[in-house]
Every structure is written in C-alpha cells, then in structure tokens.
Amino acid sequence: MNKDLSNNNIRSVLFVCHGNICRSPMAEFIFKDMVRKAGLEEVRIDSAAVSYEEEGNDIYPPAKRTLHGHGIPFGRHSAHRVTDAEASEYDVIIVMDASNRRLLPRIISPMNMSKVHLMMEYAGKDSDVSDPWYTGDFEKTYRDITEGCAGLLESLSQAEPISTVG
C-alpha cells in the first residue's frame, strides 16, 4: 500500500471502523475541521462501519465529549454499514485497524479495496488506531486519529489544489 496520494486528485475520503460510533465519526469530524482550517474546499468526508451492530446510532457519548473537549464541531450522526456502491463514490477509504481491513473484502469489490489504506500509515506507523470501545481511552484514540489525519491532510496538500464540501 502506498500512502502517497500526491499524484492523485483526491476529492472524497471515507473513514471506516467497526461500528461507526467512535473512531470513524471522530476521524470524519476531526478531518472536516482540519480541512476547513486549511482552507480547502470540495472534499467530501464521511464515515461508515463494517458491521450493522450500531446501525442508526449516534456518536458514542464519550467520543462526543472528547470531540467537544478539543473544540471539534460535530453534528448528529447515524451509524451505517458501508456498501460497495457507497465505497465506489470515494477516492480513498481509510480504515482504523487491521480487523476492518480484513472484513471489507466481504463487503466491497476488489476495485474498491484498491482504495483502502490504514489510518496510521499516514502517521508513518504500522499500527492500528486505538479502539476506545475496549480501552476506554478516548484521548489516546483522539491522538492517534489526529496524527493520522494530519498526515492525510499533508498528502492531500501535496496533490492538485482542492477545495471542502460536506
């Protein structure tokens, strides 16, 4: 996998985790905030799950508190499982851990799998984003996601000029 997106025209990013109530929506809103502050436009940013377990649920309250505590704006969220059709709409798909990556081929096509990258690749690390559902450490998860999103933003900044939507 090559994390260098500088030769691509990235206009859309989908973040994926297990249930779409902690890590992926945190990444969605953290990245939206970073992109907005960078003055970029026309980047579609969203999040989804590899499971149906939390379908329809909002962001988990401790994740909301963490975002709020760091001044990251967020709105109402409705967890959902990614579909192949949805995956085809995005230029890059960022998964939070190796388990998400293992489950995705059961859901999305090989063509869409070619767009999948691990979040921490963008931080220059071969590791997973800490899962606060099990650790309870939402601050560590916030730090992991922020580090990965900063690297992703740097990759986007090296690409053709873009601007932010959604």
Point out the residues that are catalytic.
17, 23, 131
Query: Are the C-beta atoms of 100 and 17 separated by less than 8 Å?
Result: yes
CA distances from 46 to 78, 109, 121 (A): 11, 19, 19
